[in-house]
Structure 1
């Protein structure tokens, strides 16, 4: 994905993304939720330094310093930086406003589909209850007539 933004040197794209305070807060929160061995003390240090001109961050520094599991960085011929899908989507949203917009629209579409399916189920249960109520009250009327 970083090559999409800078074909010549994609590592700088990732490093710039990691320097961003919002990025660090996002991936730090992801690690807190998903990684019991995450080094929160070092994370707090990075978060406090983020935004300063002297602050630099690389995937390797992040992983080594915080025991992060959401990002993997490998060097060598088949190396690269890889991330959990949650983090990759956040990175893609940062790279491309168009992608972010499509992601939001697709999310809204899926939620509408989900709600309409739930709505159908709810309406079905409501109709069945209505029918059962009528059957129940009619049966009670017939029973009361026979007793009298």
Structure 2
């Protein structure tokens, strides 16, 4: 899947970028709905200095980012509304260790926000624009899902003849040499996405990139997942969100997620083998 895609919302091109944890949308492009590109940074800065914005960003980070610095975020909230308070996105990210926003430099750069935050930003720009943004974003995801389904069907057909070659390549090339499920030194510093990666695949995204530098230039570990693994991954995301709400600590959540992943993947793989045998008869 291409990392950068573009959608057109009320005549305005908006960039969508896929990162390790989810889709991010360029809010610099969205700001163009309210002003020209030269003033987009001012629009974003004014939005960021609003207390309700900071409350939203802080809550989102506390839910999804275990490394978020809550104490530093309180400083921003106290300054909100003051004439002298003109924070930048870079300052917010640097001081709070936020992951929901980031700034990309260069000709095709801009400020990108996780889709949840981008939709909230669009509300501040124009409720109507937000509705069209959601509509076009959903259209993009539906098109990608259709494409992925075709790719999965093709992979399943080919795997019947190439199963041994494929599994040998994965074993010897794609998987980093380290047992992350037993050696938990990485755990205190892991983001939620890697909690799921290790529970399901057995290694972190960083470890995979280190083992596969060429592949990592244009793809990530989840691009090489089977349809069964992606199904389990979706379920793990739901289970993890519920455990976060229940206040479970990271180690207990990891152990639970690992158990769920092993069980569900075993069930799906066994069912697939049975279906393949039936089809071949």
TM range (shorter): 0.5 to 0.7
| TM-score normalized by the length of structure 1 | 0.65
From 10, 15, 31, give the equivalent of 1:2. 31
Structure with the greater alpha carbon radius of gyration:
1
Q: Distance in 2 between the 1:3 and 1:62 partners?
A: 22
CA RMSD of aligned residues (A): 1.6
From 115, 123, 137, give the equivalent of 1:93. 123
Unmatched runs of 5 consecutive residues or more in structure 1? 107-148
Residue in 1 that maps onto 2:54: 24
Residue in 2 that maps onto 1:55: 85
| Structure 1 residue 3 displacement after superposition | 1.2
| TM-score normalized by the length of structure 2 | 0.35
Which range is displaced more, 88-97 or 74-83? 74-83
Unmatched runs of 5 consecutive residues or more in structure 2? 1-29, 136-281
Q: Distance in 1 between the 2:123 and 2:129 partners?
A: 6
Q: Distance in 2 between the 1:9 and 1:17 partners?
A: 13
| Structure 1 residue 65 displacement after superposition | 0.8
| Structure 1 residue 77 displacement after superposition | 1.7
Instruction: List 4+ stretches of structure 1 deviating above 4 A.
Output: none
| Structure 1 residue 21 displacement after superposition | 0.5
| Structure 1 residue 98 displacement after superposition | 2.6
How many aligned positions are there? 103
